[in-house]
A and B are shown apart, each in its own frame.
Chain A
């Protein structure tokens, strides 16, 4: 497999360093290999950030989904709920919430939409699935990238050692 499902290319392992070094100078090869390693590291960073943000968002979506379920179940009754809501960081105030067929969801970017409880449940469930898949992919990518980075670092070490050996042989030959 030359690339993982998200299109990250697999790092080639240099089997025969002598063959590999016939095409380019050691400096140019080492530079190319280092560039590839930094590209992999950049991708690793971005996957790490993705994973962090998804791991934060998923519990929030699950909580909101639970609350919507609870509201749906109470729709039949005519009893309002007494609740405390957050006014500010350390301040909460009392409110009563009558049974309602609609809820408002904050979608971000100054957008809030009103949905029926069923629509809201569907929307949140699909958001949750997308987030969970994204998290699974990010973790898979991170494992794959770890392997490729190790392979490239091994390549760099072998090329470097080959270069050191060559220089030593040259020195001994000219001495």
Chain B
């Protein structure tokens, strides 16, 4: 992937016209914003898992048979007691719920947090690579624009003496 990127940069420095550079610039911008979006989603997911882990801690040993308001629907609460502080049920996705001990549930969330952390790091690395390519591209574009402007000035300068000469 990185050799492709540097290969692309080598070509762009030498050959491509400004219009094509614009297209590549737009493409890189889209990719960077998409990856940044994915990165922040990972961060959010990580936060949610951390929160779940914290919630498990509220089922600490002291809370057996503690009275709580039990939510039976999203607007209905009924007084009840915590009946089992040693096991919880975790939603592992695709409609499966697994009963685990509180310790195992904690381990499960830890794994999830680490997995998401790894993915987030990979995305971050890709984003940094793309941003470096983007900066290089901008420099090349700037150079070409300056060259173009100089050429136009020279042409205008070449015409004027001819007109004055007549």
A-B contact pairs, 20 of them (CB 8 A): A60-B74, A64-B75, A67-B76, A71-B72, A82-B83, A86-B71, A87-B55, A88-B55, A90-B91, A91-B52, A91-B56, A91-B105, A95-B82, A96-B81, A103-B76, A103-B77, A104-B77, A106-B75, A106-B76, A106-B77
Q: Tell whether A100 pairs with B78 under 8 Å between CB atoms, given A67-B73, A88-B51, A95-B70.
A: yes
Q: Report the count of interface residues on B (CB-CB < 8 A).
A: 32
Shortest Cβ distance from A118 into chain B, in angstroms? 15
Interface flag for A42 (CB, 8 Å):
no
Complex Cα distance, B68 from A100, in Å, reads: 13
Q: Tell whether A85 pairs with B72 under 8 Å between CB atoms, given A71-B78, A95-B82, A97-B80.
A: yes
Are B70 and A83 in touch, CB under 8 angstroms?
yes
A105-147 vs B: 1/0 string, CB under 8 Å? 1110000100000001000000000000000000000000000
Q: Tell whether A93 pairs with B90 under 8 Å between CB atoms, given A64-B73, A88-B51.
A: no
- Choose among A82, A86, A94 the residue that contacts B87 (Cβ–Cβ < 8 A): A94
Hey, which chain A residues are within 8 Å of B91, CB to CB?
Answer: 89-92
Complex Cα distance, B51 from A87, in Å, reads: 10
Interface flag for B138 (CB, 8 Å):
no
Q: Tell whether A95 pairs with B75 under 8 Å between CB atoms, given A88-B55, A90-B90.
A: no
Are A64 and B88 in touch, CB under 8 angstroms?
no
Q: Tell whether A92 pairs with B97 under 8 Å between CB atoms, given A83-B70, A105-B76, A106-B76.
A: yes
A55-98 vs B: 1/0 string, CB under 8 Å? 00000100110011001000000001011111111111111111
Q: 8 Å CB contacts to A: which residues of B46-84? A: 48, 51-52, 55-56, 58-59, 68-84
A-to-B contact residues, CB < 8 Å? 60, 63-64, 67-68, 71, 80, 82-98, 100, 103-107, 112, 120
Are A93 and B77 in touch, CB under 8 angstroms?
no
Interface flag for B89 (CB, 8 Å):
yes
B-to-A contact residues, CB < 8 Å? 48, 51-52, 55-56, 58-59, 68-84, 87-92, 97, 105
Complex Cα distance, B77 from A105, in Å, reads: 6
Hey, which chain B residues are within 8 Å of A103, CB to CB?
Answer: 76-78
Q: Tell whether A93 pairs with B59 under 8 Å between CB atoms, given A60-B75, A104-B69, A105-B75.
A: yes
Interchain residue pairs A-B with the least CB separation, the first 5: A97-B80, A94-B84, A90-B91, A92-B89, A104-B77
Shortest Cβ distance from A113 into chain B, in angstroms? 11
Are B55 and A91 in touch, CB under 8 angstroms?
yes
Complex Cα distance, B73 from A88, in Å, reads: 13
Hey, which chain B residues are within 8 Å of A64, CB to CB?
Answer: 72-76
Hey, which chain A residues are within 8 Å of B75, CB to CB?
Answer: 60, 64, 105-107
